[in-house]
Each structure stands twice: as structure tokens, then as C-alpha cells.
Amino acid sequence: MKFSKKQSDILNEIIISRRDIRGNNFTNKKIKRKKLNQILQAGLNAPSVGFSQPWKFIVIEDEAIKNRVYDNFKEEYKSSKKHFKNIPIYETLKLEGIKEAPVNIAVYYKKSKKKILGQTSQKLMGRYSVVCAIQNMWLMARSLNIGIGWVSILKPKKINKILAISKEYELVGYLCVGYPKEFFDTPELETLQWDKKQKFDSVVFWV
Ligand SMILES: Cc1cc2nc3c(=O)[nH]c(=O)nc-3n(C[C@H](O)[C@H](O)[C@H](O)COP(=O)(O)O)c2cc1C
């Protein structure tokens, strides 16, 4: 199958207009199961080292579980503050949407008992494959006008305990999923002057 210029422009637009969505921007509009499945299916279509497909997805809708995850976020957030003591804006940032998003998805890496083709020199390749799945989900969600926010201020061990998941499963991404009030044109952290977008020539090198 060959794609047209119009289609590739659309993909580019989806990539450019994908945003990390946080609790100050989620609505409580329910996501239809069909759309949620489409997002999850996009994850399953990601590339993976040696076609190992080392991902598992836990879809969380239960408010009590979300509350427990949020409690862990609060704990971790509190201890993160010491790293940004000299940057007062840190305390004003909203860095998650665990309770506001109607759905949370914990995305896990499960190590295989078999030797994985391509993973013999670099042990992290399986985890990177799971990240590819997450990015596919993020983009598919955006194409459906659904937002995703990645929350990393969490202790994986505690999240496994809350979800009653054994330690062979390694948390890669904890995602908050829901319809946002709006998709901003610019990353929030750029708008808030936390950091600037890097210029093409400052990160791309030709040799
Ligand atoms: C691996 C990863 C972890 C992230 N963790 C958090 C997080 O804990 N809290 C948060 O608010 N945003 C988190 N983000 C979102 C980034 O802040 C966001 O992607 C970045 O500011 C650029 O904004 P944009 O995604 O809207 O383009 C994470 C993103 C990635 C890729």
C-alpha cells in the first residue's frame, strides 16, 4: 500500500499536535470501548525487538484503584520537590491526571524466558519496544481526539502492589486517558517557560 502526500501530511499533523494531557485539562466524557480498543490495538502493532511483543496493558477504571495510585503519586511528588528547590515554578505544575482521566492504563514489560533475537547485546531493547507501543497509542489516541498523559512520578513497586501484579512485570508507563478540554498548540512546559523546544540543527548531525 502506498500513501498519498495528503495522508502523510495528516500523520505529520497528528504527530505535531499530540500533547501530554494532565488533570487540569481532562473532561469526564466517557471513552467508548471501541475507541479504547483501537488505542490498545495500536500498541499491539508497535515494532518490538525480535518480535518479542513483551507488553501487557492493564486498563484501570476503578476509582478506588486510581485513588491508591494517586496517593502514591502524592508521596513521590513530595519527595521529588527537593530536587527542584531553587525552581519555585515546580510546585505550581500539574504533573498528572490520574483521578480526572476516566481511564488509566498501566503498560508493563514482561521479560521472556526465551532468548530474544536482537536483545543479546542490549538488555533494554524489550523495554524500548514497550515505549514504541506507548507512542503508537499516544498517536492513535490523538487521531481520535483523545488525550494521554504519561505519569512517571510513581514507585513501580507500589503500583505493582496496588494492581496485584507480580514482580516479573516491570512498569514502563502509567497513562491517563481521556478527552481533553483542548489540545494546546505548544507543550505546556514550553508555555510555562520550563524549557524550550530544541532546534532541528542542534540535535541532528550528519557525518
Ligand atoms: C517517558 C515520559 C515520562 C513523562 N512523565 C511525565 C510526568 O510524570 N508528568 C507529566 O506531567 N508529564 C510527563 N511526561 C510528559 C512530558 O512532560 C511532555 O511530553 C513534554 O513536556 C512535551 O510536551 P508534549 O508531550 O505535550 O509535547 C512524560 C513524558 C515521557 C515521554
Q: Residue 20: CB within 6 Å of ligand 1? A: yes
Say what the pLDDT of residue 45 is.
98
Distances, alpha carbon 84 to alpha carbons 81, 109, 150, 152, 170, in Å: 5, 30, 20, 16, 27
* Strand 147-151 versus strand 55-60 pairing type: unpaired
- What would the pLDDT profile of 105-117 be if each residue is shown by its tens digit? 999 999 999 999 9
For atom 21 of ligand 1, the residue with the nearest CA is: 189
- What would the pLDDT profile of 4-33 be if each residue is shown by its tens digit? 999 999 999 999 999 999 999 999 999 999
Q: How sure is the predictor about 159, in pLDDT bands with cuts at 50, 70 and 90? A: very high
Superfamily assignment of 26-182 in CATH?
NADH Oxidase (3.40.109.10)
For atom 16 of ligand 1, the residue with the nearest CA is: 20
pTM of the model: 0.98
Q: Residue 50: CB within 6 Å of ligand 1? A: no
- What would the pLDDT profile of 42-70 be if each residue is shown by its tens digit? 999 999 999 999 999 999 999 999 999 99
Distance, in Å, from the CA atom of 65 to the CA atom of 44, rounded to the nearest integer, reads: 25
Please, what is the average pLDDT of the chain? 97
- Coil, helix or strand at residue 60: strand
